[in-house]
Amino acid sequence: MEVRYITPDEAVAYLKVSAASFIWQFDAEVDKEVEVPVLAAFNGGKLIAGAEMFDFKTNYCGNVLNAIIVSGICSQPEERRTGGVREIFNEIGRTAIEKDWAFGFLRPFSIACYEKFGYANLNRAFAIKIPFANMTHIPRNTDVELYTGEQLEEICALHNKCAFKENLLTLREDGKHFCDKPLEEAAYTYLRRNASGEADGYVRFKVNRDERILVVQELFVLSKDALYGLLGFLRNYDGIVNHLRVRGQYQGSPLSCIADRIDNAVYEADGGVAGRIYNIQKLLESNAYPEKHGKFSLLSLDEFEQNKGIFEVEYENGMATVTHRESGEYDISLTPPAAARLMLAGEGHDAHTASFIDGVEICGNADDFFRAFPHRVTCFYDSLWST
């Protein structure tokens, strides 16, 4: 079986496999190309499986690391379970160091399926639905500025400031994420500024008229004043909608911190993200460590060469030295999904709670390991990939 990136003239073959896999209608006049690289598996020269590959930069403990997002994973139905998708994931892992991918992310239709490729659920996103009638304690506000495209550099800088306050949030440097034609696309972005004139929050939204809901796709703020200012602005739409629905929320998000004080706020499941570590060495070197001295040894039970073996970590004053050895004693061993849960998800486990996670084996005193990975506000999200 051959695995490689498709050429432009193979885009139609990939889109046909995707249509057959997901049972969506193929349009020969429209479905002629794909906008991102596609890694595909070929059997006897025939394209049988493929996946779209999105390159992103993410924040991990204040460090910018590269990640790959795998989307549109599909296989020809009659070719399933012949190894095409597995070979695609194997190729991602084999080339991760060359491509400088520290992590991989995807939206799982089945946790069990993607655990086989080393992925584990990182965050279960939720939406918060609030009746506008119960937001009267938030003052109305019109002190906002419509995004027109001229503020691109400013809004990207604002988003990236927000990203460095939340682990794994992706960074932005272009206009693909923001609509600068609101009238044509019925999608609006507004900025909010503080007393010094600096942008400290923005909101992207559309309106679902059938359900009379204002749907917020993104709400990022640097301060409580910015949050209340943007919510106060959105209240001005209460004449055409009944509810505000904010997507992409997570434990510890700014809105979730105040929504519990709003009557009849409803929390709705909004999908989840699975992640995998493709470069444990880089993650360990980029992690933010405690000031107090600590030391642990981690056995990584990974199939990829860059992640195999025992990683010895000694830290103090926020810094760490990471060394690698092939064998010997260790404090904790982790399968790839377990490593993602304990080192990426920001859940903040201890030895007791971690013992309930499949793939975790504690062989010694692993307290220093758990102190190195405390609870952290974590949200992987990007507008080009998340829907």
Same fold, 2-106 and 126-273: yes
**Reported confidence tier of residue 3, pLDDT bands at 50, 70, 90:** very high
CATH code matching the domain that covers 2-106, chosen among 3.40.630.30, 3.30.1330.200, 3.10.129.10, 3.30.420.40: 3.40.630.30
Write down the CATH number for the domain with range 126-273: 3.40.630.30
Report how far residue 100's alpha carbon sits from residue 306's, in angstroms, rounded to the nearest whole number: 12
Quick one: how far is CA 243 from the chain centroid?
Answer: 26
% of the chain surpassing 70 pLDDT: 99
**Reported confidence tier of residue 124, pLDDT bands at 50, 70, 90:** confident
Inter-residue contact 354 to 360 (CB < 8 Å)? yes
Q: Does 155 have pLDDT greater than 90?
A: yes
Read off the tokens for 70: 């795998």
Least confident range of 47-51, 105-109, 153-157, 354-358? 105-109
Q: Which of 83, 94, 14 is nearest to 47 (CA)?
A: 14
- Which comes out higher in pLDDT, residue 27 or 296? 296
Read off the tokens for 104: 């991989």
pTM as predicted: 0.92
Domain ranges of the chain: 2-106, 126-273, 279-372
Read off the tokens for 373: 């990975």
Question: For residue 305, which phi and psi values (nearest 5 degrees)?
Answer: -55, -40
- Give all strands (DSSP E) within the chain, no chain letters: 2-5, 38-43, 46-60, 63-75, 103-106, 120-131, 144-146, 188-193, 199-208, 213-221, 243-249, 266-277, 294-300, 309-316, 319-325, 332-334, 360-362
Average the pLDDT over 170-174 and give the result.
Answer: 91
Sign of CA dihedral 57, 59, 63, 69: negative
Note the pLDDT of residue 387.
47
Report how far residue 335's alpha carbon sits from residue 203's, in angstroms, rounded to the nearest whole number: 39
Q: How many CA atoms lie within 13 A of 293 on its CB side?
A: 0
Read off the tokens for 165: 């306050």
Q: Does 109 have pLDDT greater than 90?
A: no
Q: Does 188 have pLDDT greater than 50?
A: yes
Q: Does 133 have pLDDT greater than 50?
A: yes
Report how far residue 169's alpha carbon sits from residue 67's, in angstroms, rounded to the nearest whole number: 11
Q: Which CATH class is domain 279-372?
A: alpha beta
Q: Which of 380, 275, 276, 385 is nearest to 36 (CA)?
A: 385
- Which comes out higher in pLDDT, residue 33 or 317? 317
Quick one: how far is CA 174 from the chain centroid?
Answer: 18
Average the pLDDT over 263-282 and give the result.
Answer: 92
Quick one: how far is CA 300 from the chain centroid?
Answer: 23
The rounded mean pLDDT for the chain is 94
Report how far residue 253's alpha carbon sits from residue 118's, in angstroms, rounded to the nearest whole number: 27
Report how far residue 203's alpha carbon sits from residue 138's, in angstroms, rounded to the nearest whole number: 16
**Reported confidence tier of residue 384, pLDDT bands at 50, 70, 90:** low
Report how far residue 132's alpha carbon sits from residue 128's, in angstroms, rounded to the nearest whole number: 12
Report how far residue 135's alpha carbon sits from residue 364's, in angstroms, rounded to the nearest whole number: 52
Q: CB count, 10 Å around CB of 194?
A: 14
pLDDT in tens, 20-67: 999 999 888 888 888 899 999 999 999 999 999 999 999 999 999 999
pLDDT in tens, 362-380: 998 999 999 999 999 898 8
- Give all strands (DSSP E) within 80-143, no chain letters: 103-106, 120-131
Cα angle vertex 249, ends 220, 128, to 5°?
Answer: 110
Average the pLDDT over 306-335 and give the result.
Answer: 97
